[in-house]
Amino acid sequence: MRPGLTIETHSSGMTETETETEIDTERWDWRRCRSFGWSGMLRRILKRAMDSTGSSSSSGTPPAAAREREREGERERKRERKGAGGEKVIVPRNKPCIVLEGHSARDTVIQWADSSEVTRSATFTVNAENFKARNIKFQNTYNENTQRGDLNPIKQAPAFQTTADKVSFYQCAFIGVQDTLSDLQGRHYFESCYIEGAIDFIWGGGQSFYQGCTINATAAIQGRLTGYITAQGRKSETDTSGYVFNQCTVVGTGLVYLGRAYMQYSRVVFSKTYLLNVVVPKGWNPWRYVGREQTITYTESQCIGLGANMSKRVKWEKTLSSKDLAGLTNVNAFVNQDGWLQKQPF
């Protein structure tokens, strides 16, 4: 067999080397992939499949067959079975064009428990461009036993991290408490996803569009402390990054800010979104940039719900022109300028 994609798997503190086995490639429609004209040589193996009980195999041979497929202009597709797989995964930068598809985000789960350095503790990390996931739940369970009022502090424990361009998610779920979704760098698209956390649970310097997503702020886990949905890290006026939430729903327990400024030019937009009364009246927090709020771009447009009352919002929240707002809330203008979303298969 030719070498395929190497994905790092950490189990019980040890690193495993997975056995590679080919399966019947006729089960997949590769012609559809080729029609999109992907360039470059794709080499990808499926490193692990889950058995019928939903547990990951610890033996040298995967319980369900894995495969390798190498062909010019193709994208590899992995279909996960139902169940919860306990593993930590890293997709390296030189292995692009991967599709990961599950049965549903309710019963296809990739989970791990880690809280070391924040950029090294994510359950699933994607550093390669052109990655697409559908119907998968990504979860970091490190803080899951934390109860309201616990003396032990909540730790940074991301469920998913990406530093890559052209990454998309459909009907996926991201579950954690602090730094759940490390949306660090690149253009990303989230459609009909569920994202849960309490503190900075969507954070980083990504340029991302969230369409029709449910944002569940579980800030009550902190007791009387207020949570934060976003901590966006735009670094300059010319930085194209930012988070746009369009036609989303914000629910939860406890009180949360819509965001706080991780970097001085932080940019977040909530458009046509339903905001439950978990949103604090001020809406936004400058964090380390008190007195320099003029460089921060936080805006709300046509939002509804008890949490959308603007009467007590911070005075420095931006009111954008129709042109500037359209440039952010139009997915094709903000993240899909070269049509990469339409070029991704499946």
Instruction: Please give the positions annotated as active site.
Output: 179, 200
C-alpha closest to that of 80 among 43, 140, 124, 38: 124
Distance of alpha carbon 257 from the chain centroid: 19
Cβ neighbours for 60, distance < 8 A, ≥ 6 positions apart: 19
Written as one string, the DSSP assignment of 11-72 is: ETTEEE--------GGGS-HHHHHTT---SEEEEE------TTSPPP-SSS-SS---EEEEE
Beta bridge partners of 250: 215, 275
Distance, CA of 148 to CA of 31 (rounded, Å): 52
Distance, CA of 176 to CA of 143 (rounded, Å): 7
